[in-house]
Structure 1
């Protein structure tokens, strides 16, 4: 395989030698300061919302699993409204991904409603 084929991807055959395994221990997360963190959360009731709100107010993005909530439950609607209000207050954004997830962003972060790669 020539150099241009490697750059342009002229061959569909790949071998394990084409990939490099990354060891998380090689990256010292504590030494680099990030402007924003991404948090993963599970929401099963109202008590789980406070930590999410605090994270968004602190400028972090939250991806929350809502599969434990029953969608017909008024609690689910109340939680969604509460998180929507937080996103509006901080100038962020909020979307619900199907019946299983909510993404809440802090100030200045918008969520595209278009999927990548779909034409």
Structure 2
């Protein structure tokens, strides 16, 4: 049994000729208006929080590098509190991964606290 027969479910009413082969350009055009994007950010100071907040308000996911700050630094505590407030406002989620990353997600997305095994 060929792969298309498996995909088509064996003996349905469709044949391979009923499907259109898509080019990668078709996906690129379709994805330009796609919903959520993933952004990578570095937080060096308080002003770096503004584009992160904007991205989360726009429905995007942000992974932010906070290695320039120690976790006991008051600045990073203030930044985390500010981003936590944004996550709550949009009904999203926020988690700190280790000492060096924050992940902030928008409405409808939650972050699992369990590692995949």
Question: TM tier, shorter chain?
Answer: 0.7 to 0.9
Question: Which runs of structure 2 are paired with 1:1-119 in the superposition (5 Å)?
Answer: 29-32=28-31, 33-117=33-117
Determine the C-alpha separation between the residues in 2 that align with 1:75 and 1:29.
Answer: 40
Q: What is the distance in 1 between the residues matched to 2:51 and 2:29?
A: 22
CA contact (8 A) 2:61 2:106 kept: yes
Partner of 2:9: none
Q: TM-score of the superposition, structure 2-length normalised?
A: 0.74
Q: Any stretches of 5+ residues in structure 1 without a counterpart?
A: 1-25
Report the alpha carbon displacement of residue 30 of structure 1 after superposing the two structures with TM. Answer: 4.5
TM-score of the superposed pair, with normalisation by structure 1: 0.73
Question: Greater CA deviation, 29-38 or 73-82?
Answer: 29-38
Question: Structure 1 30/63 Cα, relative in aligned 2: closer, same or farther at 3 Å?
Answer: farther
Q: Secondary structure at the match of 2:75?
A: helix
Query: How many pairs align?
Result: 92
Q: Please provide the CA RMSD for this pair.
A: 1.3
